[in-house]
């Protein structure tokens, strides 16, 4: 009996992950480009850029997981999962700080 990792059925979820990752990658690039075209004085410009970067990272990670699963490369799947988890933690902290800045609330550095 084959596991989901090695079965022929893996092509469908692996392709779905890869296509979803490519879509997130495109959305992240679009958000980043929109942020870079925004006026310098726009509140939340940096937050928009950070959110676009987060989607770009998720997209690259999903593509790595999907292709790694299809090609049977466990290291690629593990790298995609680890990268997505670690970068999501980092960008969440930065996005929180940028949200504080965009809302005009003082941060810890102002205290």
Q: What is the pTM of this model?
A: 0.83
Q: Which residues does the chain have with pLDDT short of 70?
A: 1, 106-111
Q: What is the pLDDT at residue 1?
A: 53
Q: What is the pLDDT at residue 101?
A: 82
Q: What is the pLDDT at residue 109?
A: 54
Burial state string for 64-92 with b = 16 or more CB within 10 A and e = fewer than 16: bbbbbbbeeeeebbeebeebbeebeeebe
Q: Where are the alpha helices (DSSP H) in the chain?
A: 11-37, 45-71, 74-102
Q: What is the pLDDT at residue 108?
A: 57
């Amino acid at each position: 009996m084959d596991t989901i990792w090695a079965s022929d059925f893996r092509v469908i979820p692996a392709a779905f992950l890869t296509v979803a990752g490519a879509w997130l990658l495109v959305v992240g690039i679009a958000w980043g480009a929109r942020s870079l075209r925004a006026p310098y004085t726009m509140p939340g410009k940096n937050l928009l850029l950070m959110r676009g970067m987060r989607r770009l990272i998720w997209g690259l990670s999903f593509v790595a997981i999907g292709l790694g699963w299809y090609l049977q490369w466990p290291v690629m799947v593990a790298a995609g999962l680890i990268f997505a988890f670690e970068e999501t933690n980092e960008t969440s902290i930065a996005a929180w700080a940028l949200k504080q800045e965009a809302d005009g609330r003082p941060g810890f550095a102002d205290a």
